[in-house]
A and B are shown apart, each in its own frame.
Chain A
Amino acid sequence: MTSTAAHRELIIQLESVDKRFGGAHALQDITLGIAAGTVHALVGENGAGKSTLGKIVSGVHRRDAGVVRVCGREVDYHSPRDALDDGVAIIAQELALVPHCSVMENVFLGEESRRGIVLNDRQLRHRYDALIERTGFELPADVRVGDLRIADRQKVEILRALARDARVIVMDEPTAALSRPEAELLLQDIRELRDAGTTIVYVSHFLEETFSIADTVTVLRDGRLVGTVDPAEVSIPDVITMMLGRSQIVEEPRRRDPRELGPVVLEVEGLARTGVFEDVSLRLHAGEIVALAGLVGAGRSEIARAIFGADPVDGGRVAIEGRRMHFRSPRDAIRNRLAMLPESRKDQGLVMGASVADNMTLGVLERFSHFGVARRRAEREAARAMAERVAIRGGGLNSPVSLLSGGNQQKALFGKWLLAEPQVLIVDEPTRGVDIGAKQTIYELLRELAAEGMAVLVVSSDIDEVIALADRAVVVRTGRIVAEFQGDGVDADRIMRAAFGGHRAPDTTENEGIQP
């Protein structure tokens, strides 16, 4: 326990807490004390279990084993409502507000003052004013929540928690959707809350801001507690080392020498979308696999979608083989032999009710038709050949694609886009939610395609995946490219440090091997 918190009373105590989701062990044997009146941060990689821990404390999830004590009393919350009645509130990543109602209505939602069934507006207003005075938050009572900035909406959430006399507030990535200045304001609010005696459990993967606000930092890795430290006594790189601590990748992939690669096929320069990403410049060579690495929410998928023409851009240019492109729609991109496997195969990739074959040929039907009439035999032949190439298992060409496993759905999606014979293939989280076997098949396929001369851009938040595939890794943080690593420089530790912002980036030593 740290010096600042040592003499304080522990408001929350966890003992050997365990949580599983299906087969995944989300939390193992977590023992932890959280001191009253402090900001206690939970940090870790994507999937380390930090959000899960926050949700167990606040009653969103129930623990499978172990003990949770609040103020020394053992509790077993069945819902966030139970936790709230006990003074423990959670402010989730996706805010739970009613956008069409006013700030005041939202703050007191479910706890309105009333006489019989008639709302007592005057009393409600008194309560609101008292709350504002107590907390020092400046927020007009009658503005529609939908009209507020996101930072202010979070204030509404905080007020809502305080209106119910919350002693502990769990905040899950509260700054993820905020701009820099907005985040600063929120952090200031959090400091004031703490000084007024509220305990904050702060879940975040932004280390710099975590260090600026936390009194205590607990590091999680793969569902286990690695350690609890005082941010005044350790550095951010130390914490990153604790977070990673990974076993070395067994198989060291062969990264190709830049001289083996073909000419530049995709060139992106100064691409920008206001408030989402800016000044993104990239080059892909024929036969090269480039990874767009970074944290969830850093803007990688958005960049990929913009290159593909799925989202509008506010500036910059995209060129294929030196020809400048104006992709107003994915259709334009596909015609110029650019293809993209979207992030969510269910929402953006596949027509789940349609058959495997129909899904695979959807993008290239025109090739299999005479005057708009589909040539079914040719189409079917092509689908079958492609299904074999990408090794789809467990379903017939005619059965709905929804019956396939996640991995095989992903393979079908690959098959669909390979039928379009792209020169440049963008894959967004290509192995999310697929099993190990399918993952290996997909990796082999991507390497094979690159070897055949395709340029591949892999968007991935899985660092092992980046290491396994990339000839070159480009790291995105808060909408900007902050580092680039080539060849032997593609290294988990360095990529994660750049992604988390563990030091000022980019500096020149990182950019070794960048193309002129």
Chain B
Amino acid sequence: MSSESSVTAAGEPAIVRTAPGRSSRARASVGKSMRDMGVLVIFLGLFVALSVSSDAFLTSTNLLNILDQWAPIGIIACASTIVIIGGSFDLAVGAIAAVAGVIAARVANAQGVEIGIIAALVSGAGLGLVNGLIVTAGRVNSFIGTLATSIAFRGVAVATTGGSLIVVSDTSFTALGQGNALGVKWTIWIFAAFVLSLAFLLTRTTTGRYVKAIGGNTEAARLSGIRVNQVRTLTFVLSGFAAAVAGVLVASRVGTGQAGAATGFELTAIAAVVIGGTSIAGGQGAIWRTVVGVSLLALIGNGFNLLNIAPTWQQTAQGVIIVIAVIVDAWLRRGRAG
């Protein structure tokens, strides 16, 4: 992108000739950088504080552990970012993860581990498609629609297990959740792959641009000839698929499929997205922001553990941080409008 950097170096592209825009632009760039930096500053501050106050924190074992723990939620949060930028919410991801874990375990016992995993991923994408169609073709508000399907999907998971745990007899099932490559857990590699590919999707592909346009102004997107329903459905399929991957990882980690797995993941994921600074109003946001959001939540949890603070306060702290993030979001939005 050499041409782009030369543009940035020159300050502004060639079409700028008049001065009046400058002050508002400056204001916007302050707002933008605060939006950019705010969460990063908090994250780095916490990182430094923990490094100083705890010897155990800044060790590769601890950091890789945190990443491994948070990888499933991170994967879901990245996909949720796309859904939210597109102007919807997907509250069914936790339930889809549970269904996927259960299906993976059951099919693994019947047909083998590989087929089990494939079946889980396909059904995750399929349930995502169901969500997408309910929201687009069915014209149901995504919040309500996926809240309803999350209940139904969780029911499917319970019915599939018959209420008990499904232990996978083939121990190779645990390779994905417990194994590693180059000293780094597979879960982390998969999380990294999601981050990179979804970031690419959002920033470099036409689909990514359409998602942003739809979330920013649905009517304008429609009048621009974008297949709004198709793109929006795709975001749900993606979200369902990501949830299934997370569900398989969770099941694989413990070698069992259980209907109660991944409970509450959807809300933690949305929290991570919002903390990162992606707009809940849709249209704007980025995958890296969500990575920072997830990392911040992870650090809070880890820090509380290392410093031996009661877990109760951990939840309180998380809640407060989410509220602050949303207030800052609204505040910056007003600043931009004014």
Binding site for B on A (CB under 8 A): 308, 310, 329-331, 333-335, 340, 342, 347-354, 358, 362-363, 365-366, 369, 372-374, 376-377, 380, 384, 387-388, 392-400, 402-404, 416
Q: How far is the CA of A261 from the CA of B304 in the complex (A)?
A: 77
For A387, list chain B residues within 8 Å (CB): 15
A388 near B217 with CB under 8 A, answer: no
Closest B residue to A349 by CB, please name it: B220
**Assuming A347-B219, A351-B221, A363-B224, is B205 touching A395 (CB within 8 A)?**
no
B183 at interface by CB-CB < 8 Å: no
For B3, list chain A residues within 8 Å (CB): 377, 380
Q: Give the contact stretch, choosing among B92-100, B208-216, B292-300.
A: B208-216
For A331, list chain B residues within 8 Å (CB): 225-227
For B15, list chain A residues within 8 Å (CB): 384, 387-388, 392-393, 396-397
Closest B residue to A394 by CB, please name it: B21
B20 at interface by CB-CB < 8 Å: yes
Partner of B213, one of A362, A369, A372: A362
A352 near B16 with CB under 8 A, answer: no
A329 near B222 with CB under 8 A, answer: yes
For A396, list chain B residues within 8 Å (CB): 12-13, 15-16, 25
B79-122 near A? 1/0 per residue, CB < 8 Å: 00000000000000000000000000000000000000000000
Closest B residue to A308 by CB, please name it: B223
Give the contact-size bracket for chain B. 35 or more
Partner of B219, one of A329, A334, A348: A348
- Which 8 pairs, one residue from A and one from B, show the smallest C-beta to C-beta distance? A351-B216, A331-B225, A396-B12, A334-B225, A394-B21, A363-B224, A365-B206, A351-B217
Q: How far is the CA of A369 from the CA of B206 in the complex (A)?
A: 7
Task: Offer 6 A-B interface pairs, CB within 8 angstroms, sorted by A.
Answer: A351-B221, A362-B226, A369-B206, A376-B1, A398-B12, A403-B21
B210 near A380 with CB under 8 A, answer: no
User: Could you list 13 further interchain pairs (A-B, Cβ under 8 angstroms) beyond the known A310-B223, A396-B16?
Assistant: A331-B227, A335-B225, A340-B223, A353-B283, A363-B225, A374-B209, A384-B13, A393-B15, A393-B17, A395-B21, A396-B13, A396-B15, A399-B12
For B20, list chain A residues within 8 Å (CB): 394
**Assuming A353-B216, A372-B205, A374-B205, is B336 touching A362 (CB within 8 A)?**
no
B16 near A348 with CB under 8 A, answer: no
For A340, list chain B residues within 8 Å (CB): 223
Q: How far is the CA of A196 from the CA of B63 in the complex (A)?
A: 83
Closest A residue to B281 by CB, please name it: A353
For A342, list chain B residues within 8 Å (CB): 219-220, 223
Q: How far is the CA of A402 from the CA of B204 in the complex (A)?
A: 23
Q: How far is the CA of A407 from the CA of B6 in the complex (A)?
A: 28
B172 at interface by CB-CB < 8 Å: no
B59 at interface by CB-CB < 8 Å: no
**Assuming A362-B213, A365-B210, A394-B16, is B28 touching A351 (CB within 8 A)?**
no
B204 near A373 with CB under 8 A, answer: yes
For A377, list chain B residues within 8 Å (CB): 3
Q: How far is the CA of A377 from the CA of B204 in the complex (A)?
A: 12
Binding site for A on B (CB under 8 A): 1, 3-4, 7, 12-18, 20-21, 24-25, 28, 204-207, 209-210, 212-213, 216-217, 219-227, 279, 283-284, 336-337
A218 CB to closest chain B CB (Å) equals: 39
Partner of B224, one of A330, A369, A380: A330
For B212, list chain A residues within 8 Å (CB): 351, 354, 358
A403 near B13 with CB under 8 A, answer: no
B224 near A400 with CB under 8 A, answer: no
Q: How far is the CA of A394 from the CA of B17 in the complex (A)?
A: 7
Q: How far is the CA of A350 from the CA of B212 in the complex (A)?
A: 12
A330 near B219 with CB under 8 A, answer: no
Interface centre among A349, A353, A354, A384 (most CB of B within 10 A): A353
B205 near A373 with CB under 8 A, answer: yes
A317 CB to closest chain B CB (Å) equals: 21
A403 near B205 with CB under 8 A, answer: no
**Assuming A369-B205, A403-B21, is B283 touching A330 (CB within 8 A)?**
no
Q: How far is the CA of A248 from the CA of B283 in the complex (A)?
A: 47
For A393, list chain B residues within 8 Å (CB): 15-18
For B1, list chain A residues within 8 Å (CB): 376
For B28, list chain A residues within 8 Å (CB): 399-400, 403
A422 CB to closest chain B CB (Å) equals: 11
For B18, list chain A residues within 8 Å (CB): 393-394
For A388, list chain B residues within 8 Å (CB): 14-15
A350 near B217 with CB under 8 A, answer: yes
Closest A residue to B22 by CB, please name it: A394
Q: How far is the CA of A308 from the CA of B223 in the complex (A)?
A: 9
For B224, list chain A residues within 8 Å (CB): 330, 334, 362-363, 416
